[in-house]
């Protein structure tokens, strides 16, 4: 599908992230689940993850990340016109987590809604917001990836509980002026034939919450890790190549690739297939594990704040997740 020429170019004016204070290390996990630091480190690259407090919800994490992004963008919450929260761990099934965030921020002029695209949600939100701004419907948008996955993990299942963590990342998008950066190309994809390999089967209309299915842990994440792994590498490679080509870039032009933070072996495989050296690939999953929709947003903010790219540099973001879904963005900062 060809990208329709934008009326208004769109840039990222600010980023922010927030991680809960509590750290859970691999050694902590060894105490209550049959696993080892050696297994988790060698199979995933994860060393620790953050766990939100009982009274700290997804909207709270999202609000804190959003405030930092707004501050960096030099923008008041009251000026925001659109808020999209990407999450699979909303505060409530309804209303949307974005509504709580709108209220927390005092962003009274913004419309607010959630999207559910699992780990791909932040880049889905980026494409939606970019198009809304480039079409002239809105002048700015706040997009957030936020998750409290610790509430949806089966802490007795070593296949999944060692992988995930809590956190939030945010970005403020706005119309870009002459000489400023811009989002060059975006790509999204979905394969609904793969809904069964990564899901939370209970708690929806297909399997409403009952004490029986809560006891059976049906309202927790379930995953066929190996199948997801294989499909993820392929999908991320293709999505990255599409945005690189559409943006008119060569691999050498790319300052940094920021991939979804799920597994170091997946990240290495992507770097290899894109022929991008490892030092040009951002990794922070050792500290936070897989925070689903938040992961690439947190990584973008950390890479930005630690000077891994500057104005004018070209970066590529690429993700995959349940659905299956995948997405990529090429950005001139």
> Looking at the annotation, which residues are catalytic?
119, 260, 290
What is the nearest approach in angstroms of ligand UT7 to the Cβ of residue 304? Answer: 22
What is the nearest approach in angstroms of ligand UT7 to the Cβ of residue 325? Answer: 10
Q: According to CB under 6 A, which one of 3, 23, 35, 241 is a site residue for ligand UT7?
A: 35
86 near ligand UT7, judged by CB under 6 A: no
Query: 4: how many CB neighbours lie within 10 A of its CB?
Result: 9
Sheet of 166-175, strand order: 10-18, 166-175, 140-148, 82-86, 111-115
Q: According to CB under 6 A, which one of 321, 326, 328, 332 is a site residue for ligand UT7?
A: 321
Among 84, 103, 55, CA closest to 169: 84
Residue numbers 48-77 binding ligand UT7 by CB under 6 A:
none
228 near ligand UT7, judged by CB under 6 A: yes
- DSSP character at residue 164: B
Among 314, 316, 301, 325, CA closest to 146: 301
* Beta-strand relationship, 140-148 and 314-321: unpaired
Contact status, residue 299 vs residue 319, Cβ threshold 8 Å: no
Q: What is the DSSP string of 6-33?
A: PSS-EEEEEEEEE--SEEEEHHHHHTTS
Residue numbers 272-291 binding ligand UT7 by CB under 6 A:
290
- DSSP character at residue 177: P
Size of the site for ligand UT7 (CB under 6 A): 20
Binding mask 288-307 for ligand UT7 (x = CB under 6 A): --x-----------------
What is the nearest approach in angstroms of ligand UT7 to the Cβ of residue 229? Answer: 4
101 near ligand UT7, judged by CB under 6 A: no
End-to-end CA distance of the chain: 24
What is the nearest approach in angstroms of ligand UT7 to the Cβ of residue 224? Answer: 8
Q: Which residues bind ligand UT7 (CB under 6 A)?
A: 35, 39-40, 43-44, 119, 158-159, 162, 198, 223, 225-226, 228-229, 232, 262-263, 290, 321
């Amino acid at each position: 599908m060809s990208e329709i020429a934008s009326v208004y170019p769109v840039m990222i004016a600010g980023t922010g992230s927030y991680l809960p204070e509590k750290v859970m290390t691999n050694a902590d996990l060894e105490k209550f689940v049959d696993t080892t630091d050696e297994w988790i480190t060698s199979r995933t690259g994860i060393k620790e993850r953050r766990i939100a407090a009982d009274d700290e919800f997804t909207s709270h994490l999202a609000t804190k990340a959003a405030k930092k992004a707004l501050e960096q963008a030099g923008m008041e919450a009251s000026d925001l016109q659109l808020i999209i929260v990407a999450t699979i761990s909303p505060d409530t099934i309804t209303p949307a987590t974005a509504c709580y965030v709108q209220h927390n921020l005092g962003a009274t002029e913004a419309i607010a809604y959630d999207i559910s695209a699992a780990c791909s949600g932040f880049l889905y939100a980026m494409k939606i917001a970019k198009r809304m701004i480039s079409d002239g419907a809105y002048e700015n948008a706040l997009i957030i990836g936020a998750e409290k996955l610790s509430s949806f993990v089966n802490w007795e299942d070593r296949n999944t509980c060692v992988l995930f963590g809590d956190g939030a990342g945010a970005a403020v998008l706005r119309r870009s002026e002459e000489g400023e950066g811009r989002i060059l190309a975006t790509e999204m994809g979905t394969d609904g034939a793969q809904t069964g390999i990564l899901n939370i089967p209970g708690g929806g209309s297909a399997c409403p919450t009952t004490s029986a299915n809560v006891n059976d842990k049906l309202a927790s994440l379930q995953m066929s890790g190996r199948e997801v792994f294989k499909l993820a590498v392929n999908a991320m490679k293709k999505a990255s190549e599409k945005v690189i080509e559409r943006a008119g870039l060569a691999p050498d032009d790319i300052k940094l690739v920021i991939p979804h933070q799920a597994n170091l072996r997946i990240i290495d495989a992507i770097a290899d297939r894109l022929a991008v050296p490892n030092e040009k690939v951002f990794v922070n999953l050792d500290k936070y594990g897989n925070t689903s929709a938040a992961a690439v947003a947190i990584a973008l903010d950390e890479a930005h704040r630690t000077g891994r790219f500057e104005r004018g540099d070209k970066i590529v973001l690429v993700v995959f997740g349940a659905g299956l879904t995948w997405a990529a963005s090429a950005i001139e900062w």
